[in-house]
Chain A
Amino acid sequence: MRWMWIDTIVAYEPDRRLVAIKNVSLAEEHLHQHFAEGPDGPAQPVMPGSLMMEGMAQTAGILVGSVRRFAEKVILAKIQKAQIDADVTPGQCIRYDASIERIDGMGASTVGTIERLDHRSGQWERIGSTEIMFSHVDQNMSGLAFPDHNFVFSDSFRNILRSSGLGHLMA
């Protein structure tokens, strides 16, 4: 399984901000089991909010990891705030815009906005916001043992970085 909920990175400001895109397609199996009834008609498949949170966590997590060149295992520690005000349907595009508020040896705090693009109007519309905290897990082990290799930033993440023109960050 490819647990990637972003397709590509479209903007990167070192140590500060990262923006990723997710195209929502009817070919995605999960959409056929997740419906919401609209005000004007029958139920239609919508992107689950939980997976939008995962997409934002991946976006913000890559940003946090990039600060230390992916040497730290960056683990989602706490979703401090999550608000999604509108559905995203197949054919629309999601934009995750994440910024670091604070980072230190122990972890990082991020803020983000979620937008959707409807290709008919060509307009981006803000539909949500997040505050997500990450732990540098090797610094917060509390006696737990984790593998030495960085299991967080797997090949799937590395492929996205390379295809987005950011492969140099993994050096």
Chain B
Amino acid sequence: MTRDEIQKKVTDVLVDALGVDEEDVTPDASLTGKLGAESIDFLDIVFRLEKSFGVKIPQGELFPDNALSDPRYVQDGKLTADGLALLKERLPHVDTSSFAADPRLEKVAESFTVKSLVDFMERKLQPA
């Protein structure tokens, strides 16, 4: 599958899951910022990506979900050093540089963009 085909499928998933217009789904659009995603939408997006691409996405592989309620990784609404290291390791599809400088949780959520979803799916679909 080409990157354009992946981009198209990801766009369709986001249009359905978030009720946004297709033209708003640009590569740099943040899921929580520009596209208005709330926490439960992340679960919806994972389920829809699985269905659309015919793959399994284990819990925590795309979004860090419950790691962010673990006090080892998050304290006072900010990522700890361990939390930052964990996300860097677990989320290679996300640009962590923005929240390395500002580790507030909302920055972590904002760092998930359309491009990071496309990168994730492209990596996921590569033959092992």
Contact = CB atoms under 8 A, between A and B. Distances in A.
B44 A133 contact: yes
A66 interface: no
Contacts of A109: 44, 47
Interface string B12-54: 0000110000000000000000000001110110010011000
Contacts, number: 43
Contact of A105 (B16, B50, B59, B77): B59
A9 B17 CA distance: 30
B65 A106 contact: yes
Secondary structure of the B side of the interface? helix
Nearest to A133: B44
Nearest to B74: A143
Given A77-B40, A140-B65, A143-B69, A102 B59 contact: no
Given A141-B69, A143-B69, A78 B44 contact: yes
Contact of A80 (B44, B66, B69, B77): B44
Interface of A: 77-78, 80, 101-102, 104-107, 109, 133, 135, 139-143
Contact-size category for B:
10 to 19
A104 B39 contact: no
Interface of B: 16-17, 39-41, 43-44, 47, 50-51, 59, 65-66, 68-69, 77
19 contacts: A77-B40, A78-B41, A80-B16, A80-B44, A101-B47, A102-B47, A105-B66, A106-B43, A109-B44, A133-B40, A133-B44, A135-B43, A139-B65, A140-B39, A140-B43, A140-B66, A142-B39, A142-B68, A143-B69
Contact of B43 (A101, A107, A141, A142): A107
Nearest to A142: B39
A26 to B, nearest CB: 37
